[in-house]
Every structure is written in C-alpha cells, then in structure tokens.
Amino acid sequence: MAAQKTFTREEVKKLNNEDNVLFIVDAKVYDVSDFLDAHPGGEAVLRQVAGKDATVDFYNLHRHEVLTKYADLVVGTIEGEKPSIITPQPGDLSPVPYAEPLWLTPAFKSPFYSESHRKLQKAMRVFTDKYITPEAQEKEKSGEWVSQELVERMSKAGVLQMRMGPGKHLHGLNLLDGAVEGKEFDYFHDLVMSQEGVRAAARGFQDGNMAGMVIGLTCILNFCGKNPELQKRVTEECFSGKKKICLAITEAFAGSDVANLRTTAVKTPDGKHYIVNGTKKWITNGVFSDYFVTGVKTDKGLSVLLIERGEGVETKAIKTSYSPAAGTTFITFDNVKVPVENLLGEENKGIYVILSNFNHERWTMACATIRSMRLVTEECLKWAHQRIVFRKRLIDQPVIRQKLAKMIALCESHQAWLETVTYQMNNMPYAQQAKYLGGPIALLKMSATRAAHEIADESVQIFGGRALTQSGMGSVIENFNRTYKFDAILGGAEEVLGDLGVRQAMKFMPKAVL
C-alpha cells in the first residue's frame, strides 16, 4: 500500500480482522499484518493494540530507531493530524537538554570555539552518523573488524589523519571537504574529532577503528627522523589505510610497568639487525596490524623498534568483555630479525618515545569518556521522559531527578575541566606541556573514569532490566556498563594516574614549610 494514504481513526479501527492488523503510532498508520510472525515481541501484543493508538505502548518498549528501520510498515497518516515525534537526521544536534556540551547548546556562548571548530563539528557529526555509527553497531555485534571500505573512506576524508592531532601531517590536506584548514587544526579541533567519534556508542569497535594507529603512528611521525624513507613509506601506507599499525608495549609479565619488559632485542654480530624474542599482551588492533611499534629490552635499557609482520611474528585474538571488533591481541615474537634502521628514537632511551605520547593519549581518552558519559545521560533523560511506570513518567519521580542531576553535574564539570586543559595545550609549547600538563591530564582522566563509574551505576538503576540486555531500549547503557572499565585501566590505571598527578604537583611545592 502507498504510504501517502490518509485514514480517520474510525477507519483504522474497522480495517482490523483476523488477517489484517493495523494501529497508530504518532499519527502514522502501521500495517503489521505481514510482520506478526517476525515481531521480536510476539504476535499477541500487536493484536492487543489492533485498531488503537499504540503510541504510548510503543515508546514504553522501543527505541525510536525501530520505526525508522521498519518505515516500510507505514501505510498512511491520520487525517488532520501531524506526527510530533522528532526523527533525527544525520548531523542533527540533539534537542534533549544537556545532550550536547554547552558550546553547542543554542543561546550558550563559549570563549574556546571558533567558527572553524563549529564547521568541523557539523561535518564530523554527519560523517559519524552516516558512516561510522551504522558499521559500528553492526560490527560490535558480529565481532568483525572495521571494514576496509570505512578505513579508506576515513582516509579520503582526512579523518584518519585528523585523529593524530595537530601537526604538519595535516598541512595541505582536504579535511572533510574543507571543513578545516590543516594549518589551523588545533587541540579544540582534536577534541571535536574525539568527542564526535564516540557517539557511535560501540566501545569495542571504537578501539578497533584504528585506535592502534592513533597511538602507534605517532612514534613514527616523531621518532623515525633518522630514516626518512621508512618514515615516509609507513606513514603513507597507514594514512591511506593500505596497512595497519599498532603499539605493542604491555606484556603479561609486566603489564604497563615498562621498566620490567621481558621482550629482548639482541644485536647480531655484524650489527645490522636485532633479534627479537618475547610476547606482548592486550595489544589493540594487533590481529590485523602489519606494523608493530614494539617496546623491547636492549643491553642497557628500553628501546622501541618498528617490527613488520613476517617470519617469527604471530598474533592471536584475546577474548575481552568488549567486542572482538577491537582486535585485542596476544603477540609472540620468535627470533624475529629486525633491521637496526627500524630503531625509533635512540637505543636504550625508548622510554622517551613511549612517554612522549602519554599526555595526548590520556587527554584523548578523557575526551572520549566525557562524551560517552553525556551520551548515557541523554539516553537516561529520554527514557525517563518516555517511560511510564505506576501511571507516572519516570521523570516525575524525585528519586530519578536526583540521579539525573548528579549525572548532568558530572558531565558539565568534566567537560569544563577538559576545555580548560585543552586551552592550555593550545597555548603551551610542547616542552611546557610536558612540564606542566602531565599531572593535570592524569588527574582529569582519573576523575573522568571515576565519574563514568558513577554514571554507569546510576544509568542502570534508571533503566532497570533493560540496561542488562544487549538489544532494545537499554543497549547504549548495557554497552557502557560492560566497557567503561576499559578507560579506567588503559593508558594508565586510575590509581597510577592519581598518584602521578599528586607527585607532579609536589614538584612545584615551595621548599619552605608553609
């Protein structure tokens, strides 16, 4: 039947019989006669609302996207009535209060964001809604890795390159159809990229989607200067999406205690190669990587080598509590021959290579955690507004409003702190950042992941049983609850970061007793 037809409410009532089941949701008429067997909630519930207005029942049980997915069940509209429910379009800002950071909320101003940041935000939101979210949701369930098609699309749009943060690698590139000039790309653009990307709400896929490149390729950009040919080749291959790269530091023996790594690299007698032996664990993207930026023990300390997949390199997927789409890996290096030219930075001084990226990595994780917290809060606000229990909306219960107040406050306070730190990053040269921002960024990430823990907990209480199922209304909450711990551990556990933050602060403590 054509979707343009109009019905009166009386007509919809009369059209129902054993073979035909029609009902109304938000002034639209749905014919579910051929969908009865396929409906995941069963046939009986649909027959119970045959001929009636099922809007309240529908929204009490389903996410809005269900209607978009099954739009072909619509056969018409009710005469003289207009649908009132908003169907978001790619790129739209959410109309839910606090669903967007204040700088994106109409009527609010911010000193930090220019037109260029706003342009990039719009372009990246469209890109995420159109290309990343649909694949993320699918792959999160199937456990497959990111498709080559998406990687190449991100490469062409400059998304892969922008995720590395500001720098020369962006100069002269066409970034999201001219949304931003490479030369003006700063840490607020970087923040926008991080925060928009996580709206796909699929934590495992998010790491699988080239997170290894974000932390691994940095070492090639910054520490491969002695071998420009290698630097050019690897950078081009990774930015074009032809090859994949990851950072391989942690080991089962040492976790992230890099001083105790057991993977060894011993020079051959002719001095031309290292022979690498050992294992690596928890390596994001390792299973599908071609290059491994690897922490090794050399004769007098720690070094970092670029190892290519080849003889003696084996990778095995590790099962984790998020999706296999992340590509979390156990790696074995068995007598792997690596040319000495593949040394990144200086021999025995690999700690500088590893530490150089920590602040940016932790800051990126704070951006992502804080944005995910907001997404969860938005879901809770929407649910509390639409869910009716004991004849009242959830939002009409003071206890629910208290929980939402706490969640909103945590989102707003952490976003404000993040923006203040980002402003410092924009205005301090690298050496100053290293001196002054290591502590604040560590404390910010620690505090954000603690807040995420509170938000995860409250969101489950608001959603109830739905927060525990992977499909349906509570799917975003379920995913967040299963995965928020990753950020509390990766890139430095909360305890380590808290300790670092205070130790860094004490360096600036006056010697005198105050």
Binding of residue 49 to ligand HEM (CB under 6 A): yes
Record the tokens describing residue 20, joined without a space: 């035909």
Task: In whole angstroms, give the CA distance from residue 9 to residue 27.
Answer: 9
Nearer to ligand HEM, 45 or 405 (CB): 45
Q: Count other Cβ atoms within 10 Å, centred on residue 33.
A: 18
Nearer to ligand HEM, 432 or 471 (CB): 471
Nearer to ligand HEM, 56 or 502 (CB): 56
Binding of residue 83 to ligand HEM (CB under 6 A): no
Minimum Å distance from CB 88 to ligand HEM?
17
Task: In whole angstroms, give the CA distance from residue 156 to residue 239.
Answer: 9
Q: Of 54-62, 149-157, 191-199, 403-411, which segment contacts ligand HEM by CB under 6 A?
A: 54-62
Phi, then psi, of 134 in degrees rounded to 5: -60, -45
For residue 216, give the H/E element and its range.
helix 211-223
Exactly one of 11, 13, 36, 39 binds ligand HEM (CB under 6 A); that residue is 39
Exactly one of 22, 27, 50, 73 binds ligand HEM (CB under 6 A); that residue is 73
Packing angle of the helix pair 398-427, 358-386 (nearest 10 deg): 150
Binding of residue 64 to ligand HEM (CB under 6 A): no
Record the tokens describing residue 25, joined without a space: 């949701």
Judged by DSSP in three states, 15 sits in coil
Nearer to ligand HEM, 24 or 400 (CB): 24
Q: Of 49-57, 105-113, 230-238, 381-389, which segment contacts ligand HEM by CB under 6 A?
A: 49-57
Binding of residue 351 to ligand HEM (CB under 6 A): no
Rounded to whole angstroms, what are the CA distances from 247 to 281, 286, 307, 477? 11, 8, 10, 30
Amino acid identity at 311: E
Minimum Å distance from CB 484 to ligand HEM?
23
**Counts for the chain of helices (H) and strands (E), in that order:** 19, 14
Binding of residue 61 to ligand HEM (CB under 6 A): yes
Q: Of 40-48, 135-143, 375-383, 409-417, which segment contacts ligand HEM by CB under 6 A?
A: 40-48
Minimum Å distance from CB 140 to ligand HEM?
15
Q: Which of 120, 220, 130 is nearest to 177 (CA)?
A: 120
Phi, then psi, of 306 in degrees rounded to 5: -90, 115
Nearer to ligand HEM, 49 or 304 (CB): 49
Nearer to ligand HEM, 36 or 173 (CB): 36
Nearer to ligand HEM, 255 or 472 (CB): 472
Binding mask 443-472 for ligand HEM (x = CB under 6 A): ----------------------------xx
Exactly one of 9, 13, 47, 62 binds ligand HEM (CB under 6 A); that residue is 62
Site for ligand HEM in 472-491 (CB under 6 A): 472
Task: Judge whether 103 and 112 are in contact, CB under 8 Å.
Answer: yes
Exactly one of 70, 288, 417, 436 binds ligand HEM (CB under 6 A); that residue is 70
Task: In whole angstroms, give the CA distance from residue 24 to residue 26.
Answer: 6
Task: In whole angstroms, give the CA distance from residue 89 to residue 104.
Answer: 17
Q: Of 2-10, 39-47, 102-110, 442-450, which segment contacts ligand HEM by CB under 6 A?
A: 39-47
Q: Give the residue closest to ligand HEM by C-beta.
A: 41
Phi, then psi, of 489 in degrees rounded to 5: -115, -50
Minimum Å distance from CB 70 to ligand HEM?
4
Minimum Å distance from CB 173 to ligand HEM?
40
Binding-site size, ligand HEM (CB under 6 A): 19
Nearer to ligand HEM, 201 or 441 (CB): 201
Task: In whole angstroms, give the CA distance from residue 83 to residue 149.
Answer: 36
Instruction: Give the bridge partners for 29, in sequence order.
Output: 24, 76
Nearer to ligand HEM, 41 or 310 (CB): 41
For residue 461, give the H/E element and its range.
helix 438-463
Exactly one of 10, 40, 311, 512 binds ligand HEM (CB under 6 A); that residue is 40
Exactly one of 41, 134, 225, 301 binds ligand HEM (CB under 6 A); that residue is 41
Exactly one of 66, 85, 102, 340 binds ligand HEM (CB under 6 A); that residue is 66
Task: Judge whether 474 and 467 are in contact, CB under 8 Å.
Answer: yes
Task: In whole angstroms, give the CA distance from residue 418 to residue 371.
Answer: 11
Amino acid identity at 505: A
Binding of residue 30 to ligand HEM (CB under 6 A): yes
Q: Of 36-44, 122-130, 196-204, 429-437, which segment contacts ligand HEM by CB under 6 A?
A: 36-44
Q: Of 63-71, 219-227, 240-248, 422-430, which segment contacts ligand HEM by CB under 6 A?
A: 63-71
Binding of residue 434 to ligand HEM (CB under 6 A): no
Which of 4-12's residues contact partners 24+ apart within 8 Å by CB, and which partners?
4/76, 5/29, 5/75, 5/76, 5/77, 6/76, 6/77, 6/78, 6/79, 7/76, 7/77, 7/78, 7/79, 8/78, 8/79, 9/53, 9/78, 12/51, 12/78
Helix %, strand %, coil % of the chain (to 5): 55, 15, 30
Where does this chain bind ligand HEM (CB under 6 A)?
30, 32, 39-41, 45-46, 49, 54, 57-58, 61-63, 66, 70, 73, 471-472
